[in-house]
Amino acid sequence: MSGFRIYVPGDAAAVAVGADDVAAVIAAAAARSRTAVDIVRNGSRGLHWLEPMVEVATAQGRIAYGPVAVADAEAVFQAIAADGGAHRLRLGDPQEIPFLKSQRRLTFARCGIVDPRSLDDYRAHDGYKGLERALAMTAAAVVEQVAQSGLRGRGGAGFPTGIKWKTVADTAAGQKYIVCNADEGDSGTFADRMIMEGDPFVLIEGMTIAGIAVGATQGYIYIRSEYPHAVAVLTAAIAAARKAGMLGKAVAGSPYAFDLEIRLGAGAYVCGEETALLDSLEGKRGMVRAKPPLPAHKGLFGRPTVINNVLSLATVPVILDQGAAFYRDFGMGRSRGTMPIQLAGNIRYPGLYETAFGITLGQLVEGIGGGTASGRPVRAVQVGGPLGAYFPPALFDVPFDYEAFAKADGLIGHGGIVVFDDTVDMARQARFAMEFCGIESCGKCTPCRVGSTRGVEVIDRIIAGRDRPANTALLEDLCNTMKFGSLCALGGFTPYPVMSALTHFPEDFGAPPRLQAAE
C-alpha cells in the first residue's frame, strides 16, 4: 500500500477536543501496520461541531470523518487505509457539507485546506499572487485598489481601510509601521485565531502589501498570550517567509524591504483598542490615548502607523489578486465583500461562516446555525462581542450590514454571534456588561471607570426590586453619560448590551413585557 496524506487539525479548537491524541493514535496505528502516512496538522475548516475532523487525500479528492473521538481514531484509520472507506463517522467530501458549501470563502479560501507551515503549499493554492500584482503597480495604485474594494476594518469600527492606508502613505516620515491587531478580545470570536493557525502566510502577505503601499518597512503582530498555537504557527511561517526571501531587505527580490515581529499581549481587553495596544507595544501599561493625533499620523513610537485587524489584512491579498471590482461586487450598501461570521454560544452548529454581507441574523442563527444546541427556543443573540447589543428573534430580519445594525442600535463588531436560549436572564446579562466594563476599564476617564461600578449597583437594585421605576430611569441616564462622555468604545458602547436588554426584555427587569410587532 502506498502512503496517505492525512489531515488532523492542529487548530486550538480541534486540539481542545482531543485532536493531538487522535493524531497520535493514527500515527501509532500507521506504524503498526507499516503504512506510510504524512500527517498534516492543518487549520480547522470551521465546522466546530465536527472537530476533530480528520481528512484523507484520495484520488477522488478529500474525504472527511468527524467528530473523531480518540476511541474512534484507530477504526477511522482503518477506513482511511481502505482509501477513504466506510465508517459511521464518514462525512464524504467536506466541501459538500451544506454548512461549508453555502459559504463564499474569500478571506478563508485556504483555511483547513493547506498545510499552514508550508510556503510551497501556500503558493500552490494561489498564495503570494496578490503581492506579485502589488509589486507590478505603484504604491499609490495599491492603496487605490484597497480603497476601491470597499474593504472596511474587521476589528470592530468598520473604518474604510483604504482611507487609513492613504493617510499613512501621505504622511512623510523616515520610519513607518504596520501593526496587526491580533488581540481578539471579543466574546464568541475566533476568526483571527483560525487564520493565524490555518493560513498564516495570508496575514504575512497582507501585511507585506500594506508595508509596500504606505512605505513601512517594519511590522508587528500583537497577539494575545492566550493564543500559543497561533504564535507557534505564525513564528514558523515568518521564519519560512524570511528564509525564502519573502520578508527581509528585498521582498521577493524587489527594492522593497519589509520584516515582521510578533509581540505578546498580557491579556487586557482594552489592549485591543488601538491606542492602548500601541502603548502596550511600546512596553507601557495599556492606556487609551486621546485622539488626535491619529495613529496614522503619530502611532507606534510616534511614527505614522497603519493598525489593522487580522481579517482586514488577511483580506488584502485576494483583493489585489482578483481586483477591487471582484471584491466590491459582494455585499450590500456600504458593506462590501464578505464577512467571516463566528457562530458561538448555545448553538447547534457552531463555527466560522464566511459569506457576503446582506444575510439576515435569522438566516444565520436559525438556518445555518440550526437554532440552539439545547433544543430550546432562541431568546436572544449578542452580536459584536461584549459591547454589542442583544437582539430578540423579532429583529432577526436585520441584515448583516454595518448601517442596518447601527440603525437597530447594534453593531457588527468583529462578527461574533453568541446565542442564548429561553433560560437566559437578561437583567443578569446587563449586569455582566457593566461588571465587565468595570473590570476591563483602563481607568482613564470617569464615565467608564466610575460609571460601570455605579451601573452594577443600580442593576443590582433593580434585580432586588428596589424602587424599580426610579432606578431604571437612573440606569438609562447613566448609560447616556457613558455613551456620550467616554473616551473610547469600552465605556461608550457598554450601554449597548445594557440598553438593548432593558428595551427588548423589560420583563426581566420587573417591568411589563414589551409588545412585539411579530407576536
Ligand X SMILES: Cc1cc2nc3c(=O)[nH]c(=O)nc-3n(C[C@H](O)[C@H](O)[C@H](O)COP(=O)(O)O)c2cc1C
What is the b/e burial string over 313-337, where b = at least 16 CB atoms within 10 angstroms of the residue's CB? bbbbbbbbbbebeebeebbbeebbb
Stretch that binds ligand X, among 18-26, 47-55, 170-178, 268-276 (CB under 6 A): 268-276
Min. distance of Cβ 326 from ligand X in angstroms?
20
Of 138-177, which residues contact ligand SF4 (CB under 6 A)? none
Q: Which of 411, 413, 325 is nearest to 149 (CA)?
A: 325
**CA–CA separation, 135 and 359 (whole Å):** 35
Helix (H, G, I), strand (E, B) or coil at 61: strand
Are residues 49 and 63 in contact, defined by beta-carbon separation less than 8 angstroms? no
Min. distance of Cβ 386 from ligand X in angstroms?
9
* 441 forms part of the interface with ligand X (CB under 6 A): no
Are residues 227 and 196 in contact, defined by beta-carbon separation less than 8 angstroms? yes
Min. distance of Cβ 177 from ligand X in angstroms?
14
Q: How many residues contact ligand SF4, by CB under 6 A?
A: 14
Are residues 407 and 334 in contact, defined by beta-carbon separation less than 8 angstroms? no
* 498 forms part of the interface with ligand SF4 (CB under 6 A): no
Residue with Cβ nearer ligand X (18 or 162): 162
Stretch that binds ligand X, among 106-114, 179-187, 213-221, 364-372 (CB under 6 A): 179-187
Min. distance of Cβ 308 from ligand X in angstroms?
4
Min. distance of Cβ 124 from ligand X in angstroms?
28
Of 484-503, which residues contact ligand X (CB under 6 A)? 488-490
Which triple of cell numbers denotes residue 39? 500527517
**CA–CA separation, 516 and 392 (whole Å):** 10
In angstroms and rounded to an integer, the radius of gyration of the C-alpha atoms of the chain is 24
**CA–CA separation, 341 and 361 (whole Å):** 11
Of 442-461, which residues contact ligand SF4 (CB under 6 A)? 442-445, 448-449
Residue with Cβ nearer ligand X (151 or 502): 151
Min. distance of Cβ 183 from ligand X in angstroms?
4
Q: How many residues contact ligand X, by CB under 6 A?
A: 22
* 499 forms part of the interface with ligand SF4 (CB under 6 A): no
- x/- mask, ligand X, residues 124-163, rule CB under 6 A, reads -----------------------------xxxxx-x----
**CA–CA separation, 517 and 519 (whole Å):** 6
DSSP annotation of 345 reads E
Binding partner of residue 154 among ligand X, ligand SF4, none, CB cut-off 5 to 8 Å per kind: ligand X
* 335 forms part of the interface with ligand X (CB under 6 A): no
**CA–CA separation, 486 and 475 (whole Å):** 16
**Cβ neighbours of 44 (radius 10 Å):** 27
* 247 forms part of the interface with ligand SF4 (CB under 6 A): no
* 486 forms part of the interface with ligand SF4 (CB under 6 A): yes
SS in 3 state form for 141-191?
HHHHHHHHHCCECCCCCCCEHHHHHHHHHCCCCCCCEEEEEECCCCCCCCH
Applying CB under 6 A, among 107, 149, 181, 305 the residue interacting with ligand X is 181
* 288 forms part of the interface with ligand SF4 (CB under 6 A): yes
Which triple of cell numbers denotes residue 355? 459569506
Binding partner of residue 353 among ligand SF4, ligand X, none, CB cut-off 5 to 8 Å per kind: none
* 441 forms part of the interface with ligand SF4 (CB under 6 A): yes
Residues that bind ligand X (CB under 6 A): 153-157, 159, 181, 183-185, 269-270, 272-274, 307-309, 312, 488-490
Binding interface with ligand SF4 (CB under 6 A): 270, 288, 441-445, 448-449, 486-488, 490-491
